[in-house]
Amino acid sequence: MKVDVAVIGNGPTARLAAHALRDAGLDAIMVGPPADRGTDPRTTALMPSSVDSLDRLGIDVRVRATPLRDLRIESTGPFGLIAEDFTAEDAGEEFLAQNLFIHDLMAVIADVPTVAAHAKGLFPGDEAVRIETEDGTTLEARLAVAADGLQSIAREAAGITLRKRPLGRSALCVPVRLERPHRRLCIERYDDTGTLTLIPVAEHDASLITIASPEDIGALTACDDEMIARKLSRRQPAFGKIAFSGAKAVFPLSIGFTPMPARNRVVAIGESAHIAPPIAAQGWNMSVRDIVTLTALLKAAREEDRDIGSAETLASYAPRRQPDVAGRLSAIGALAGVATRPFAPQKFLRQAGLMALGRFQGAKRGLMRAGLR
C-alpha cells in the first residue's frame, strides 16, 4: 500500500495528526492497534490556543470537556498557607482550559483510516519509508510521522535522538469524586510532601495528581485505596472528602526533547518528540502545536509540488517548533524544581514568588497569557 503519510501510534497525537493531515488534503493513514484508553486516569487540560486550533479542524472538545475558569495556587511554608487566584478574566480569556479525560478527547476526534497493528519495523529510503506491521502489512509512505510515544520505534529507526533527564519525582494520578462541588476551580497545592492538584471535570469529579519522590509515592500506593483517599483528603480539604472513582496509575517523571525532530523522512511529534512533567498542563498542548506546524508545512509543500518527505521540506520544521518547545520545557523544568521539592529554600522561593505575583498584577497577567497562548 502506498500513501503520502503514515502516522505511527494510536494515542491522541497520532489520531489528531492523521485527521489534520487528511483535512489538509494529504493521503494519511494511522498505524497502531485499537487503543483502550477507558482506564487511563489522565485528563488533558486544553489551553485556549489548542481549543482554537481544534475548532479550526472541526473538533469541538466542549461537548465533553469541563471549562476551568479559576486556578488557585497554594503553598505551605515559612509564611503559613499562601494562596493566589488566577482567573480567566485576568488572562482576558473565556476559560483557562477545557479539561477532559483522554478517552473523551480520543472520542471527539473522528476515526481515521487505520492499519490496526503495531509497526514492527521502519526502513527509511531515498524516495520513501517502508513500514512493516505485526499483521504482515507493508506500507510505503513519502513521510512517516513518529507519534508512538516515549519509547518510539519510529523515532529510533530514523536515528532521531531524544535527550531525556529523569526528574527523580513520580506522579500518582487517579479520577476522584469530591464531596462538595468544585465550581470549576482547579487547586494546585505545594506542601511538605510535594504537589497535590485537583483538576475539575463535570460538577463533583476531578482528576487528582500528586507529585512526590518515588519513595513517598511508593509508600502511599502501598496503602489500600480508601486509606490513600483519606490521606489525600487531609492534604487538600477544600472540597470535602475525596473518594476514588477509577483506577490509579503512577508515572515516573522526566523532561526531554529531540534537538533535531525530523530526519530520514521521519518527523517525531507529541511524546515521541518531547516529554514534560504534568505541571502547568503543557504536554499535549505542545503536541497540538506540533501538528498545526507540520500540517501547514506539508500543505505548502504539496501545493508547490515539492516532495513532502524530503530533507529540504523537513528542514524548516525544527526552526518553527524548537523555540516554543525549548522555552516551555525550560520554564516547566525550573517550575518542577521549585514546585515539587518540599525543602526549606524551595518552600521560601515559591511562597515569595506567589506573593510577588499577587502584588504585581501586570506580571501575573503576562505570565498567564504566555502559558495559555
Residue with cell 477544600: 238
* Nearest residue (CB) to ligand FAD, 188 versus 191: 188
Write the CB contacts of 204 (distance below 8 Å, at least 6 apart in sequence).
Answer: 177, 178, 179, 180, 181, 182
Asked if 147 is part of the footprint of ligand FAD (rule: CB under 6 A), the reply reads: yes
Residue nearest ligand FAD by beta-carbon distance = 11
Considering only residues 76, 98, 233, 287, which one is a binding residue for ligand FAD as defined by CB under 6 A? 287
The interface mask with ligand FAD, positions 296-335, x = CB under 6 A, is ----------------------------------------
Asked if 271 is part of the footprint of ligand FAD (rule: CB under 6 A), the reply reads: yes
Considering only residues 23, 27, 35, 369, which one is a binding residue for ligand FAD as defined by CB under 6 A? 35
Site for ligand FAD in 244-263 (CB under 6 A): 251
Alpha helices in 80-237 (DSSP H): 102-108, 153-157, 214-221, 225-235
* Nearest residue (CB) to ligand FAD, 65 versus 173: 173
Asked if 278 is part of the footprint of ligand FAD (rule: CB under 6 A), the reply reads: yes
Question: Which window, 42-50, 124-132, 240-248, 323-331, contacts ligand FAD (CB under 6 A)?
Answer: 42-50
Asked if 42 is part of the footprint of ligand FAD (rule: CB under 6 A), the reply reads: yes
* Nearest residue (CB) to ligand FAD, 11 versus 77: 11
Q: What is the CA radius of gyration of the chain?
A: 21
- Cβ-count burial of 341 within 10 angstroms (0-12 exposed, 13-18 middle, 19+ buried)? buried
**Which SS3 state, helix, strand or coil, does residue 265 take?**
coil
Considering only residues 100, 174, 281, 339, which one is a binding residue for ligand FAD as defined by CB under 6 A? 281
**Which SS3 state, helix, strand or coil, does residue 335 take?**
helix
Q: CA–CA separation, 101 vs 105, rounded Å?
A: 6
Site for ligand FAD in 127-146 (CB under 6 A): none
Residue 117: CB atoms within 10 A of its CB come to 16
Contact in structure between 299 and 313 (CB atoms under 8 Å):
no
Backbone dihedral angles phi then psi of residue 297, each to the nearest 5 degrees: -65, -45
Q: How far is CA 65 from the centre of its chain?
A: 15
- One-letter amino acid at 43 equals T
Asked if 148 is part of the footprint of ligand FAD (rule: CB under 6 A), the reply reads: yes
Q: CA–CA separation, 301 vs 290, rounded Å?
A: 17
Site for ligand FAD in 177-216 (CB under 6 A): 209
| Among 169, 168, 113, residue whose Cα is nearest residue 141 | 113
Asked if 290 is part of the footprint of ligand FAD (rule: CB under 6 A), the reply reads: no
Asked if 291 is part of the footprint of ligand FAD (rule: CB under 6 A), the reply reads: no
Which chain residues interact with ligand FAD by CB under 6 A?
8-14, 31-32, 35, 42-45, 118-119, 147-149, 153, 171, 173, 209, 251, 270-271, 278, 281-285, 287
